[in-house]
Chain A
Amino acid sequence: MTASVSTAPSGGSSRVQSAVEWGRRNAWTLGLLGFLILLLIFTRVIQPRYGVAGIQGLAISVLPLALAAVAQAVVVISGGIDLSIGSMMALTSVVAATLMDGQSAEFAIVAVLIVLLLGLVLGAINGALVVVTRVPDIVVTLAMLFVWAGFALLVRAAPGGAAADWLKDLARGSLVFDWLPRAAVLLVVVVAVIWLPISRTRFGLSLYAVGSDPLAAFRSGVSIGRTKILAYALAGLFAALGGLSLTASTGIGTPVPGPYTLLSVAAIVLGGVSLAGGRGGVFGPVVAVVVLSLIRTDMTFLNINTNLAVVSQGVILIGVVMVGSLLELRRARA
């Protein structure tokens, strides 16, 4: 702390300075959050009936993709990519629905823990394969996309199973006051509880270090292999949470993976994570998922052809990232 004080003109302004620094570092996420608020206001304008129910529905519907985006963000920050996230979600989802089928609410707690552990293991296997075989991550995880999807079908050939009632209720309704959906709180709490402590450990720093400059990280004494395996394992954990959210929201398990893998990549890019690794966080992608989902909703309200809406989603993605790069370029030149 003495370090920042010595450079500050006076002791009092160092807090202001560090706040400014924090703002600068999280500028992308804050900007995205501002955009989301504008978008919510816009939604309300074009559809005055959009209210508590709409926001609750939005929060529940974004849960799986938001968790997938967090999973992807962790891996991409460490310099990798995981194309098997969607399949891991499907596999964990059907395992959860099968375990809970016809069981007590108490057993469901055990089932949830088993599924989370399963996610960690699946992710760790992905990571270990990437590290040990030295086959490029994109190839390994593409292969595992099929492997995990196959296992999901082996567990359950057709959608079915059940979810404990408490699990289904977990994300429904509001908390404290109407405008605060329970699902949103759940999402933020779960991500924060797992991510914040980790990001403050040496492992958290190692994640960024390995993604930013593997050689410098290696020379700084970071174990590249172990960091990568842990990153994939953590992604597996978040994918399992995503799978659980799928089971909770539908009440069953579906063995066919949703479109989550590619959408998660889109969301992290929009959320300020550099695909080159080393830059970004997990909250930006979460906000990005909500933004993408809300834009889609608005297009429905505006009676825009759904297919055109899909096209526009791609255009928005390129546009936003381009503007972001231009801003970064200007900052670098200034």
Chain B
Amino acid sequence: MTATTTDFLLDASDVSKRYGAVVALRSASLAVKPGEVHALMGANGAGKSTFVKILTGAVTPDSGRIAVRGRDRTVHSPLEARRGGVISVYQEPSLIPDLDIRSNLRLTETPTEPFRDWLQQLGLADLDTSRMARRLPLASLRIIDLARALAIDPDVLILDEMTAALPANLTERVLDVIGQRRGGAGSVLFISHRMIEIAAVCDRATVLREGETVGVVDVEAGSEERIVELMLGEIASEIGARSAAGAAAASAGDLAPRLSVKGLTRRTKLDGVSFDLRAGEVLGVVALEGQGQDELFNILAGSERSDGGQVLLDGAPVEFHHPADAIRAGVVYVAADRAEALLMQRSVRENIALPFSAPIRGWGRIDASAEGRTIDEAVATLQIDARAANEVRRLSGGNQQKVTIARWVARGIQTLLCFDPTRGIDIRTKHQIYRLLRDLAGSGASVLLYTSELKEIQLACDRAIVIFGGQVVDEMDAADADEPTLLRAAHNLAADGGGAVAATAEPAGPA
């Protein structure tokens, strides 16, 4: 820890930041060597995002010291950080939607030639730079954003969850390019939830927990365990004991289906999807990106219409014209993007209470005490961290997702459609959400769970169906659904058909 600062390209020590009563960072330190790809790890709420904001100048720390190339820097804005040689790329691209790519480059004073070179390496050589950013697909924008940062050849390149919603083939290219920076003059600070990516490109990892740096680990074979241990602290053992859910609730098999989908079609996306969702089960849905899962969930939740087919709820045919119809019938949608579901500036309580006060006949006085009791119960059941309960947007992503689920739990909803609910959430909260889904199923609810992380199927589901090209191509018990099996099925390969199997599934991003 006490090496001379000149050994490090980026050296931050004892950085702290508090927002009112909430301490976001207690004492964070980070030292990145030249030519190193360094991972910054931490569970959600560990202070990772605050730390990154401080490093990039978006937030000013309360105390601490940050040095780049041995010189102390006080950075008050991304502009100053940029001048100091620190550039970040985020999950959400920082391109201006209403400017064409060329103007975007001019705005950041990015040299064109190196930008072109990097684009080529990233597989986007034929980009037309006169196109408006708003008209380009999100995945391309993410790549352009990265190429733009690389073109400046920064001392420190910060990649903040930029691979989180990138298709697998692009992720590979990005990791390739990052790998090339090893041993060079600049270094990379790499932030990702995916251990496999960390293992593939990083030299060392700094781990944050509860606002403090708890360890620096050399990344090598087997160091994942050590990192997870550090991230989780004392609760590591709890997660070690998997909830081996699959086998336990198999008895639900002979119950009548809660939700029965028969031959559902939608434009070119769904081509006769049929399956049953039983009471008291968590049914996993596995699919590569864009196989019709988005449409399936939208139709079931009432935000999109089907072209043909039938949906039966407890044996009776239903057709939802609006999410309100679905909610009334007890079917609700939990989105991957928390921002779609929550009133970010309102309190946890109001967000949970909203669905009850929504019916028009309830326009009169709200029975505050009864409401309060239900909400308190829900908050307690879900272990929502209520320190920042006045404004939902100040909660961590995991806690926000708990709030979106809590509101339906509080209302006694019986059918949940969860679309990748754990996207961008740390391992610890993920496990809490799995357990919550299991508990809900245990008390008789039905959960349809789409996930982009294949290992979630065995952790949270009873059964799984696999969708490919708008059709259900496979169905299996969770016990049989290990990652290789699911991945083959998702690519519509025969169970024992060969072919190299990558370790990550394609994440489902907005297409």
Contact = CB atoms under 8 A, between A and B. Distances in A.
Contact of B128 (A3, A212, A217, A222): A3
Given A205-B103, A205-B107, 8 more contacts: A4-B128, A202-B107, A209-B96, A213-B97, A215-B94, A218-B77, A219-B94, A220-B96
Interface of A: 2-4, 6-7, 18, 21, 202, 205-206, 208-209, 211-213, 215-223, 278-279
A221 B126 contact: no
A217 B79 contact: no
Given A21-B130, A216-B94, A219-B90, A3 B102 contact: yes
Nearest to B82: A221
B78 A221 contact: yes
A208 B98 contact: yes
A209 B82 contact: no
A216 B95 contact: yes
B327 interface: no
A182 to B, nearest CB: 35
Nearest to B107: A205
CB-based closest 5 A-B pairs: A212-B98, A278-B98, A219-B94, A221-B79, A216-B94
Contacts of B88: 219
B112 interface: yes
Contact of A278 (B96, B108, B112, B127): B96
Interface string B94-119: 11111100111011110010001000
A311 B99 CA distance: 36
Interface string B110-151: 001000100000000011111000000000000000000000
A122 B99 CA distance: 29
Given A205-B107, A222-B79, A3 B130 contact: yes
A218 B58 contact: yes
Contacts, number: 79
Contacts of A278: 96-98
A21 B116 CA distance: 21
B93 interface: yes
A4 B98 CA distance: 19
Contact of A209 (B107, B127, B128, B129): B107
A324 to B, nearest CB: 16
Contacts of A3: 102, 112, 116, 127-130
State which size class the interface on B falls in: 20 to 34
Nearest to B56: A219
Contacts of A4: 128-130
A3 B92 CA distance: 25
Contacts of B90: 219
Nearest to B101: A3
Interface of B: 56, 58, 77-79, 82, 88, 90, 92-99, 102-104, 106-109, 112, 116, 126-130
B459 to A, nearest CB: 35
Given A3-B102, A4-B130, A18-B130, A217 B96 contact: yes
Given A219-B90, A221-B82, A208 B99 contact: yes
Contacts of A18: 130
Given A3-B102, A6-B126, A222 B97 contact: no
B108 A221 contact: yes
A330 to B, nearest CB: 14
Contact of A205 (B58, B99, B112, B127): B99
A18 B131 CA distance: 11
Given A218-B58, A278-B98, A223 B128 contact: no
B106 A279 contact: no
B130 A220 contact: no
Contacts of A279: 98
Contacts of B108: 220-221
13 contacts: A4-B129, A4-B130, A202-B109, A205-B99, A209-B107, A213-B96, A213-B97, A215-B92, A215-B94, A216-B95, A219-B78, A220-B108, A221-B108
Contacts of B96: 208-209, 212-213, 216-217, 220, 278
Most buried by B among A202, A208, A213: A213
Contact of B78 (A6, A212, A218): A218
Given A205-B103, A213-B97, A219-B90, A7 B126 contact: yes
A190 B77 CA distance: 36
A172 to B, nearest CB: 39
Nearest to A14: B130
A164 B462 CA distance: 88
A220 B109 CA distance: 10
Contacts of B103: 205, 208
B219 to A, nearest CB: 28
Contacts of B102: 3
Give the residue among A7, A209, A211, A221 with the most B Cβ atoms within 10 A: A221
Nearest to A221: B79
Contacts of B130: 3-4, 18, 21
A212 B93 CA distance: 13
Contacts of A211: 98
Nearest to A278: B98
Q: Which among B77, B95, B107, B109 has the highest number of chain A CB atoms within 10 Å?
A: B107
A4 B116 CA distance: 12
B111 to A, nearest CB: 13
Contact of A7 (B94, B106, B109, B128): B128
Given A3-B130, A205-B106, A219 B98 contact: no
A7 B109 CA distance: 23
A125 to B, nearest CB: 23
A222 B94 CA distance: 11
A74 to B, nearest CB: 15
B99 A209 contact: yes
A279 B97 CA distance: 10
B184 to A, nearest CB: 23
A10 B421 CA distance: 48
Contacts of B97: 212-213, 216, 278
A222 B107 contact: yes
A80 B108 CA distance: 23
